[in-house]
Amino acid sequence: MKQRFTLAFGPRDHQVLAAGLRRCMRLAFASRLPMSLLLAGLAISSSFSASAQILERKLLAPDMETGDYLGLKVALVPGWAFCAAPGDDDVQTQSGAVYVYRATGADWGFVRKLKASDPSFGGYLGGHGMAASGDWMVATTPFDRPPGGYDVPGSAHVYNLQGGNWVHAQKLLASDYTSIYQKCFGMSAALRGNRMAIGEWEDQTMAYQAGSAYVFELQGGTWVEAAKVYASDFEVSGAFGFAVAIDGDRLAVGAPEHDNGGPDVNPGAVYVFERQVNGTWLETQKLVASDAANQNHFGSAVAMSGDTILVGTSAHNHTPQLSGAIYFFTRQGPSFVQTQEFCTWDNQAQDGIGGRVSIEGDLALISSNDRDMGLAAGAAYALRRLNGTWQQIGKVFAPDGVAGDAFSGAVAISGQHALIAAPTDDDACPANVACQSGSAYVFELAPDATQLCACPSQGPCANNDNFGGCKSSRGMGGVLAAAGSSSVQDSTLSLQATSLPANALGIFLMGSGSSTLALGDGQLCIGGASIYRFKLAQSAGPSGVLRLGANIARRSINELSPAGWITPGSTWNFQAWFRDNQGPCGHGSNLTSSVRVVFRP
């Protein structure tokens, strides 16, 4: 008997790393700190990835209400962000809506609320499938009941950018929507260029809930169904179509409940199709995990960019249990080959990483049920491909995240921007933990920067913090984040230190090496022959934020004492030091986590 799986945000048991002996040392406002002085300290812990990239805006619905679930699905294209609120009730109960936000400089503002052309009771617009590419966006209504259909055939709504406004352009129905075997068209969606894929994992044409997927192509401004595809080895309850991804002439379809003809239940699979010269779509390959196992649900999330397919396996049930895993497949010759299985450095039981995934070029985002900020608070991981290997460059949290927010309940990446949703956030009614009005966050990433040196083990006075520097008087660790390009010529890289005590006086430090040395109430994460400081001290203000604006590579020549130098190909580590007279250890100062940047021409 098959067991239906759920992709829920669950608890996990956090493991604290063993702590070593601490020795504190005093930070002097010297021009540089010699290695002889630094070596007097004792290493506290190994370097670990820290918290979020730089937040540009938290997105809310102007008319947010209880149970809207804003951000249950999200999509992102240059200059535009889309957040589905499937629980929106303004026309019909749970008819749903999509909120559109536009970028203005480094900020984002709400511009429009989109509805289905014929909002229906329980239509749940965008709640299961939403995608955008260029001037097009699609949001599905899988529980729609169009006239002539049997049960709930489902539908999808396509919107187009016209004259600076997004307008409803077309309602899509499956060509066989009147069939008694067709059900819930729109349980997943993908869009790239002039190709669109719509998944229907409850389709019963081949067998009970064996599933299917539809391909649409843009022809003269109209989306036309080009193909309906099935798994060649379809199974009862295989859930083919639970996730879809499309790019050019290739389509990937997840079937997370496929048994693959073996003894295991639901190890899952992903099917690859390619468009032929005559316009038909042909299955060319079946992908399975190299370590496929019982109830893994491989294919519960799928994303594709060029010759790379990213597959999420949130129920990966090896060690630790239900921790999740990510698989990368790269096209080599005529076939896709698994090139990497990825697990985060702090992967824990019940984390379920990979329930939602997004990829563009050499950057990827994956979700996690992480509980560092509370049970079901959630987190996302930013990954970068470097020399053919995917590496973790940051762990992203909502700066105001709390238990139950489900941050990373949906993720999207476009260029150097990440859109990460918290669909069960409670901003509409903060006192009600069941409010679930939802929200989403837009972050700017720094692809050439890697966040390091959190304080997850014992701090100098038991002031450890799981995702920032060692805890300060504010009750949390300071976090250093980066955004922008590391190009020396463009020089748009900026740094931001957050979660500091209000009005704390601080400075930014830079070193060519790394260390983990006890210093004040925290740990010094940068090293090298010399450590340089930017001359100007600044106040963190009432919000506890220090900023070092763009042009770091150029201005550092004049602002570092003595003069520092940043050249193409060089690697520098940055950290912020700040006063904390009321700090937990009594040394009067602390430091954030650090950021390592590889500078380009």
Average pLDDT over residues 142-161: 92
- So what's the pLDDT on residue 18? 22
Q: Per residue in 460-517, pLDDT tens?
A: 999 998 778 999 999 989 999 888 888 888 778 889 998 999 999 999 999 888 888 9
What is the structure's pLDDT at 4? 30
What pLDDT is stored for residue 20 in this prediction? 23
pLDDT of 36: 27
Q: Which pLDDT band holds residue 561 (cuts at 50, 70, 90)?
A: low
Please say if the pLDDT value at position 405 is more than 90: yes
Grade residue 251 by pLDDT with cuts at 50, 70 and 90: very high
Res 103 pLDDT > 60: yes
Mean per-residue pLDDT, 256-264: 86
Residue of 174, 189, 87 whose CA lies nearest to 130 = 189
Instruction: Output the pLDDT for position 319.
Output: 63
Top-ranked range on mean pLDDT: pick from 6-10, 63-67, 396-400, 532-536: 63-67
Can you give the pLDDT at residue 553? 73
Least Cα distance to 261 among 285, 243, 234 occurs for: 234
Going by pLDDT thresholds of 50, 70 and 90, the confidence category of residue 527 is confident
CA 151 vs. chain centroid, Å, equals 35
Question: Is the model's pLDDT at 214 over the cut of 70?
Answer: yes
- Non-local (6+) Cβ contacts of 387 within 8 A are none
Q: Give me the DSSP letters along 276-340.
A: -TTS-EEEEEEE--TT--TT--BTSEEEEETTEEEEEETT--SSSTT-BEEEEEEEETTEEEEEE
Tens digits of residue pLDDT in 300-354: 999 999 999 999 998 887 666 778 889 999 999 999 999 999 988 777 777 888 9
DSSP conformation class of 70? B
Beta-carbon contacts of residue 340 (< 8 Å; ≥ 6 apart) = 327, 328, 389, 390
DSSP code per residue over 78-101: TTEEEEEETT--SSSTT-BEEEEE
Phi, psi of 35 (to 5 degrees): -60, -30
Show Cβ contacts of residue 37 under 8 Å, excluding neighbours closer than 6 positions. Answer: 25
**Confidence tier at 558 by pLDDT (50, 70, 90):** low
Q: Which long-range contacts (CB under 8 A, 24 or more apart) does 144-150 make?
A: 144/116, 144/120, 144/186, 145/120, 146/173, 146/177, 148/177, 148/178, 149/173, 149/177, 149/178, 149/182, 150/178, 150/179, 150/180, 150/182
* 450 pLDDT higher than 50: yes
| pTM across the whole model | 0.85
pLDDT, residue 183, reads 94
Q: What is the mean pLDDT of the chain?
A: 86
The tens digit of pLDDT for each residue in 539-556 reads 999 989 999 887 787 665
CA atoms within 13 A on the CB side of 112: 13
Q: What is the pLDDT of residue 349?
A: 73
Helix, strand, coil percentages in the chain from 3-state DSSP, rounded to 5: 0, 45, 55
**Is-contact 509 577, C-beta < 8 A?**
yes
pLDDT at residue 8 greater than cutoff 60: no
User: Residue 185 and residue 143: Cα distance in Å, rounded?
Assistant: 8
Q: Does pLDDT of 384 surpass 70? A: yes
**By three-state DSSP, how is residue 238 classified?**
coil
Give residue 33's pLDDT band: very low, low, confident or very high (50, 70, 90).
very low
pLDDT at 544: 92
Dump pLDDT digits (tens) for 42-73: 222 223 333 347 889 999 999 999 999 999 99
- The Cα–Cα gap between 349 and 142 comes to 33
Give dist(CA 522, CA 524) in Å, integer.
7
pLDDT in the model for residue 120: 78
